[in-house]
Every structure is written in structure tokens, then in C-alpha cells.
Amino acid sequence: MPSYKAPLDDMRFVLNEVLNVSQLKEIRDFAQVDDATINQFLEETAKLAENVLFPLNATGDREGCVHNHNEKTVKTPRGFREAYQQFCQAGLPGVACDTAYGGLGMPIVLNTALSEMFCSANMAFAMYPGLSHGAYNALHTYGTDEQKDTYLPKLVSGEWSGTMCLTEPQSGTDLGLIKTRAEKQADGSYKVTGTKIFISSGEHDLTSNIIHLVLAKIDDPSTPPGIKGISLFVVPKFLPSPSQSGVGARNPVYCGRIEEKMGIHGNSTCEMNFDGATGWLIGEAHKGMRAMFVMMNEARLGVGLQGLALSETAYQNGLAYALDRKQGQPIEAKMSDENLGKPAVSIIAHPDVRRELLTIKAQAEAGRMLLYWVSMQLDISLRHPDEERRKAARKIVDVLTPVMKAHFTDNAVDNTNGAMQVFGGHGYIREHGMEQYNRDARITRMYEGTNGIQALDLIGRKVMKENLLPAYLAALWHDIIAGAGAGVCPWLLIRVAKSGWCRLWWITYKLRLKAALGIVLSKAGMPGYMRSVMVDAGGMATDYLKLFSIVAMGHMWIKMATVAKLRLKENPEGQAFYETKLATARFYSDRIMPQARALSRMINRGSKSLMSIAPENFAHTQTNVGLKSWTKPEKPAGTAT
């Protein structure tokens, strides 16, 4: 059976010792945040994750959600409703929400720590409140005062939940192709009609109402074509009512079916049908993507968090098995008669098992550090009194959002595979639980924009269009210099320098020059050149994101190793923890960081070999070598079959 224990020591190390989150007290809204508050919050949240949510993970996977076709309702697995009620009673839906609507007003970085524990314990369950928080943020940013007063208190308390309804059968990432229509009514509301698919938490029995945020096109001749014509609407399952429950008449929005999917069976992924359902415009007409991106960007960070959380659980279970499983002799032992009779050793003694585990450990710990650091930057970008600090922090968040979504989820698939490998054949069967984590992890690479889309977003929008990389590099360099003054580990700094920061800067600068030159030439009547530049960018995008990610994680190891080295001198009692932290940093430097150099060379090759094969030539069939005239020769008489 699998197990999960919240990694509180490592979380406290990152939050209190490396990030010093209590410094957020300089933001007036966070005056109550100190180390004691953070520790108490982590401990209480861990109890709910370990004792309530985790036991429901395997059973929820086996039972799944049940769709009642006649009543068009969905029942969640046994125990989910009771667990959700405990979650709400603890005030956890509103941890990082506005106190004006009943929230606790705590920093986003602490909500990130909460979400990590919940996703590690039970990812399918954690998706329900996670999507509600995204709906809360979109309404809080773009909703009218009336919409905020109507929906936000219920979302903050957890009485109501939320979804985001984007995808349709004919339009995945290309939202300009959506067909859902919104017809304006005399009272200012709209009738929304259309079908949405892959809607996580679209229908369930956890809350008394579900608030759908729906992308649609206003049924009007003035609506621009494509993505410029998209608007965002709030469409509740039950219409709001002044009654005590706040729930009125049923709105005609129904679950047509539950998607039969590979993993996250405890979460209801629905096809949602809107049959003239009443909705209200959020923000401006035809500006729906701007509003939806508030929710979408949070969702991307949330999916990256899911990847980190699954990597953590995979590591814990792989480690427990490696310590317990006895098999073989140490590799250095010579095969002799005297060694053949000795008892088998724990498989953690074997180098390749250690390689699997250390790869997961190094990535999970750096991922936690990066995710918490970015969450803290998000807090600063929203609340800090200094405008320049807010702007600088926002740039860091924007450039690292696609990086974390893609890299953490790629790692989750690899790391859950690695943990299964540690288990050997036992990892492939349901009894030990590892195959569920692998199945659950696979979706994270695809939803909220596939990782290829994240790579294009990084290089096409964040680097080439918005030019955010210099601000990020400046922040990174400031951190490294500050760390060097505090005694940063020199071997890690040298490895970072060799692995690609100069090269990364050079690649980016070169690409920006080519893009700028392409624009000039296109105006001079040579549009084909710009197209070739964009093809090159598209061809290198995934490798570029991987390079960026590996070095960004190296930056986090510099920060952690610096603190660990200092703490070794100050805190002898924690010697084993800090020495292990430094040893893991060295493993990352020796075994993962060098991949950046290979990626740099791959990026420099451009896209020629990638795009040189015509689509019709991808098939193996040979069409021009006389195969059609070839006939099978007859066997000589008497030949055996």
C-alpha cells in the first residue's frame, strides 16, 4: 500500500530559512505572518492531507465518479463529501482570499504549500477547490460589484464551487474556433448555448451550486471573428436567489457524460451542455480571453504544482520500498563462494536505484523551492507598496509560469515512471499504488495548454514579444551575487556558469535580433523571412524551455545550498538535514545540470532537419520502387512450411 507524509521539514526550510516568508510582514495585509504562524498552518494542514484526504486517494481511483444519466447528476466517490465538509469547516477554501468576502487574507505562498500537500495526498480531490479558486480570482479581478457580492462569499466559504469552460469538440487550443453562442436578453443577461468538453469538476455533489465561467461568442453581427470575438460569462448551475441558501431555479446547464479517462478518476471530467442557460457578461464584450487568462494562468501554475506534488509522493514511496526491499549483493562485492551465502541487502545499496531516487529528489526539492519563490513573487506583485517591486515581481511570475507548468509536469511523468522502476514488477500492479500516480500524472502534460504550447508561449510571447527575459536574468544575477556574498557553494556556481547562462543569454539575444530583422525585411516585401524565423523558434521552443527550466532549477539549488552551508556552521543539531541538502545539490550539479549544454547545441541546430521531410513522406510505405509489381515467389516442391 502507498503512503504519504507531508515533507514539513523541507517546507519549513524553504519558507522560513531560504525565502524568509515572514518578511512579507512589510506588506500591511500580511502583518500577522511570522514563522510561528507558518509552522502552525503547515502542521494543521498536514493532518487533513495525511489523515483525511490520502486514505481516499486509492479508493477514489477505484470507485471513480458515477453519472446518473436520467437526473444528469454526478456522485463523487465515498468519503469525498465528508472530506470536503472538513476542508470547508477549517476555513481552507479562503486561505488566500480577500477578507472583504470572508477570506483569511493570507499570502498566496502559504496557499501554495497547502495545495501541494493536498495534491500529493489526493490530486483528484484537490482539483475541486483548486478550480473554485481560479473562478474566484477571475471574478475578483473583472466581475462587477454585484457579481462579486453574489458569488465571492459563497466561493470563499466553499458552499459553491467553480469551473472554467473553454474547450469544445472541434476546438482544443485554438479557442477562436469555439461555437458556443450567447444571445443578449432585454434585462442585460444572456442565453448561452453550446457544448464544452473536458470540464474538470463540471458536475458533482460536493456543493449546493456550481459556478461555470464560460467562453462564448455574442450572437451579433458586430462580433469580431476568431479569438477577438470571445467573451466570458458567469453561468451558475442554479440561479442566485435572495433566499438563505442563495440557490434559486435550476439553470439549463447539464452534464451529458463523464469522460472515460486514464487517471484522476475521483474527479468528474464532464461534457457540459448549455441549453439556453442564463449567464452574465464578465468584463467587457469581446475581451473574454483577457479575463479568462487570470484563471488560466493560475490553472497553469496549479498544474505545475500537481506535477511537483506527484513527484514528491513518488519519491516517498520509491524510497520506502528501496529501504525495505532486500535483493542482491553490493555491486562492489566480488562474486565468490563466501559472498554467495550472505543475506541480500536493501536495494538502495545499488547505484542505479540511487540514481532513480536522487533524480526525483533533486527535481522535487528544486521544484518546491521554485514554486514557492514564484508564489512569493506573486504576492509581491499584487500587494507590495513599492510599484517598481510589483512590476519586477510580475515579470518573474509571467516568464516562469509556462516554464513551471511544462517542466514540473514533464518531471512528474518521468519521476512516477522512475519510482515504478524502483519497485520493479511490483510497481506495475495496483497493489502498491505506483501505477495510479503514473496514470494521474500523464494528464498534467496535456491540460491547460500542452507543454508544447507552454514552450511556444515562453519563446514566442514572453521572450520575443514581451521581452521579459532581461528582467528575469537581472533578478537571477542579483540573487547569485547576493548568495556569493553569503558564501554560495563555488562548485555549483561554476557548474551554472558552464551550463548555459551566458549561452542562454546569447541564444535569446540572437533570436531577438533575427525577429527584429525579420519584421524589417517583411516591411520591405520579404515576408518569407519572418516565417522562417518563427519556424526556427517553433522548432527550438521545447528544447529552449527545457534549457531554461534546468538552469532555473539550478538557481534554486544555489539559494538552498547557500543557506544549508551557513546553517551547518550555526546548527549542529540539523547537520544530517543540511549535509543531505548539499549532497543533493551536488548531484543536481553533476548529473542534471550538464544536460543544459547538450540542449544549447540542439537549439543552435535550428529547424532544418525537423522540417525537411514532407508530410506525405512520413509513412514507411515505399511507393516508387516497384513494390506493386512484386509477387511472392513460389516455394520449391517439397519445402517444409
Which of 448, 466, 579, 634 does the annotation list as catalytic? 448
- Virtual CA dihedral for 335, 339, 342, 345, nearest 10 degrees? -50
CA-nearest of 517, 488, 515, 498 to 598 is 498
DSSP-assigned beta bridge partners for residue 163: 212
What is the per-residue burial (b if ≥16 Cβ within 10 Å, else e) of 507-526?
A: bbeebeebbeebeeeeeeee
Q: How far apart are CA 280 and CA 187, in angstroms?
A: 10
Max distance between CA atoms of the chain, in angstroms, equals 96
DSSP state of 226: G
Query: And the C-alpha cell for 111?
Result: 496557499
- Residue 474's SS3 state is helix
CA-nearest of 428, 431, 406 to 417 is 428
Strands 247-250 and 209-218: unpaired
CA-nearest of 543, 472, 464, 448 to 510 is 464
Active site residue 448: yes
**Structural contact between residues 229 and 254, judged by C-beta atoms closer than 8 angstroms:** no
Residue with cell 444519466: 69
Query: And the C-alpha cell for 103?
Result: 477570506
Beta-carbon contacts of residue 255 (< 8 Å; ≥ 6 apart): 67, 72, 73, 74, 202, 203, 268, 270, 271, 272, 273
CA-nearest of 51, 55, 44 to 8 is 44
Burial grade of 26 (CB within 10 A; 0-12, 13-18, 19 or more): middle
DSSP state of 498: I
Phi first, then psi, for residue 612 (nearest 5°) are: -80, -20
CA-nearest of 604, 402, 396 to 503 is 604
Q: How far apart are CA 376 and CA 368, in angstroms?
A: 12
Active site residues: 448
